[in-house]
Amino acid sequence: MRTAVEGDRLSETFAALANSTRRAILGRLAEGHATVNELAEPFAMTLPAISKHIKVLERAGLVVRGQRAQYRPCALDAAPLEEISTWAEQYRPVWEARFDRLDDYLKQLRPQRRARAHDG
Amino acid sequence: MRTAVEGDRLSETFAALANSTRRAILGRLAEGHATVNELAEPFAMTLPAISKHIKVLERAGLVVRGQRAQYRPCALDAAPLEEISTWAEQYRPVWEARFDRLDDYLKQLRPQRRARAHDG
């Protein structure tokens, strides 16, 4: 059952990242803590709209909030991003094979080019 | 505007990956081409259900399909997964800082442990 739970968490992380505003919020938080007000400002969004995005990020474990009653600053927790990276990296051999095939193709072309240069 | 378009594509990739069945399909396709029938079998899903998932993966550019009329085998295109990995990797300094802090903490603990062993 553990795999299923982990799978669900991965789905939640991917779903949280499937929005450019939420990714921009993470980018801002990578520079340091910020309050919801501070986050809302550069994005020219209403507080309820930004709060909704932050709640999605919190549920996915990407944002943690301080306990100081009035400000509750938001902070980035990059741990789920490491999981995403690890998940994607398992496909590295597949995408590198693409380049290997391209490289083989270019190597095949080279002698032909030389031969053609000789002909000309 | 290019960034916005790239951002949308990234959102589409993340959304496509936010489902454990779709990620399992990609895992299967990493081993080699498969027809929709072959894909449906291990997942114990109906053909329309699996077809719907494959369409989401196709739209996100993660799956390409052959042109042979009857079978149209599915193949994995890992290029969007490399984009995901590159995007996540920009946060590596943040998650590594977590471990650095943990490491500092453990280093702080060690002399205390030795002192305690001396006391005992």
Express each pLDDT in A100-110 by its tens digit: 766 676 677 66
| pTM as predicted | 0.80
B1, pLDDT greater than 60: no
B113, pLDDT greater than 80: no
Contact B12/A18, CB-based, under 8 Å?
yes
C-alpha distance from A33 to closest chain B C-alpha (Å): 13
pLDDT at res. A119:
47
Share of chain A above pLDDT 90, in %: 60
CA atoms within 13 A on the CB side of A23: 23
DSSP state of B18: S
Tokens standing for B89? 């990797």
Chain A residues inside the 8 Å CB shell of B12: 18
Do residues A35 and A71 lie in contact, with contact meaning Cβ atoms separated by under 8 Å?
Answer: yes
pLDDT at res. A42:
84
A94 touches chain B (CB under 8 A): yes
Residue A71 CB coordination number (10 Å): 14
Chain B residues inside the 8 Å CB shell of A4: 20
Residue B54 CB coordination number (10 Å): 22
| Residue of chain B whose alpha carbon sits nearest to that of A8 | B20
3-state SS class at B104: helix
Chain A residues inside the 8 Å CB shell of B87: 23
Pairwise pLDDT comparison (B99 vs A77), residue with the higher score: A77
Share of chain B above pLDDT 90, in %: 60
| Contact partners, residue A86, CB within 8 Å, separation at least 6 | none
Q: Kindly state the average pLDDT of the residues A84-89.
A: 96
